[in-house]
Amino acid sequence: MRFLIFIVLIFSTYSVIGQHCTTDQAHISKLESDPHFEENRKRIKSALSTAPYKEERGDTIIIPVVFHIYHNGDPLGVQENITDELVQAQIEQVNRDFRRNNSDSNMTPAAFMPLAADTEIEFCLATIDPNGEETTGILRNHINTLPDVDESDCWTTDYIDNNFVRPSIWNRDDYLNIYSILSIDDFSNGNCDFFASLGYAQFPGGDASTDAVVLSFYTVGSVTMPNPLQPQFLGRTATHEIGHWLDLEHPWGSSPGSCSLDDDIADTPTQLGAVFDCPTFPEYDNCTTTGDGLMYNNYMQYTNDDCMNMFSIGQRDRMRNLINVGRPTLLESLCEAEILSIESIIGMNATVVDTDISIDWTMDYSSDISHLQLEHGTSLDDLSAISYVELDDVRTSYSHIHDNPESGIHYYRIKIYYTNGTTSDTDVVSVVLHKKDLYIAINPVSDVLRLISSIDYDILTYRILNISGQEMVSGQDIDVLEIDVSSYNSGVYYLLITTNQGPHIFKWIKL
């Protein structure tokens, strides 16, 4: 049942899976079950307030990671049984985000540029396990190895902590444990809400046996290798949740709805509640009504992955100071430096330009190289040459325009041909091309819901459901979809339509 639901969702035009983290909700539950947690939190906060961060540039902290993958028997690379390459891409993305080397750092609004920080914190997949044996840092297990786990159960944060994390966690004093799980659910009003959350983490000071970051598998990925099932996810859920693990709160604090509570970070503007989607600068609310507005592009927001692009200086100071105060043993954990050298020797990027894709790279001339071939595919298993490239000793920058490819994920790689007859391949980069031909004109919606089409669609049926699944209106056989929703209550709704091209689901918000 769980994956039948998910398969329906991934073929929706707009996914209706959960779009937020449940760290705050999990924290409340942990406080109730662990009488020492609240006391530890107060002790840590007191220590942070009396030991302010000391500027020590160049002192990079490197944290070993063990990545636990749990699957239900699907073949490697299918659905929740994610590949090692995707995990490595995720670790690379977290490193880029924490070091301010992310490719979209130029999207930070100019007003926030002076506040954007290189945290000088990095992460590597562990090479030595707790027994001193060699490891890849990636553990792959079937859920049938966990005796109390059933796929039909409601996988709440408590359920995952007790049945996945406790039996398998490595010592939190030496490792950051990250779990990739089929689903993070929520149980309320007697019902299980499947896929209710993207991820959650435990704040410092809690039970050592549940001190981990937990991710829904469909969020794992990177800017260059988006999640293959949900390509809008670029790995920023992991960046967000690791921020929680290092003591960062959401900018609105633990209790949304009050301007008197926030994240205790001086350079993140006071915020009333969560910000979704991707606003345009400046974005205001009832707490911050003037000036540069909300830092909506911060990694600790609920905005889209492609909208997040920075930690602030204050957040950097908090995380580094927290490691010294709350997780000091991580300073003694070892990572091999070469593990962090994930980038290819060639700087390579793929970006969407209108309906085309531009592939750019830089490379110094070498007499040992005969030529290059640019390879392309719509899957990692099917890459073939699309361009022959000769090097010259003058230029170092190269580019290729892939004209008008189809919508979807596109993978690119450069094959290097050496004069001695050998070859080598660069890392694969990927990009998602969206050519929307059916979309809601303005979302959020004020009075009239309008569906816009760039091609000739026949709308056979339509339905609007509220967040509880109650049908608000339905109809069939119309040429233009324009529905008066002025009387609807504010909140989230779903538009379900069938056309001569197939079914579509749209998530929209009524103001």
In the block, which residue shows the tokens 């670790």? 91
Q: Which helix (H) or strand (E) covers residue 423, if one does?
A: strand 423-425
Question: Could you tell me if 18 and 184 are in contact, meaning their C-beta atoms sit under 8 angstroms apart?
Answer: yes
Beta strand 408-418 with 482-484 is unpaired
Parallel/antiparallel/unpaired status of strands 61-71 and 138-142 = parallel
Catalytic annotation on 32?
Answer: no
How many residues in total does the chain contain? 511
d(CA 344, CA 473): 53
Residues sharing a CB contact under 8 Å with residue 385, sequence separation 6 or more, in sequence order: 373, 374, 375, 415
CB 507 within 8 A of CB 494: yes
**Sheet architecture: strand order including 459-466:** 471-478, 459-466, 491-499, 502-510
Question: What distance in Å separates the CA atoms of residue 249 and residue 244, rounded to the nearest whole number?
Answer: 6
Question: How do 176-181 and 213-216 pair as beta strands?
Answer: parallel
Options 241, 249, 283, 375, the catalytic residue: 241
Q: CB neighbours (10 Å) of residue 286?
A: 11
Say if residues 42 and 261 touch (Cβ distance below 8 Å). Answer: no
Alpha carbon separation from 374 to 181, 188, 360, 395, 425 (Å, rounded): 35, 52, 11, 17, 10
Q: Which residues are catalytic?
A: 241
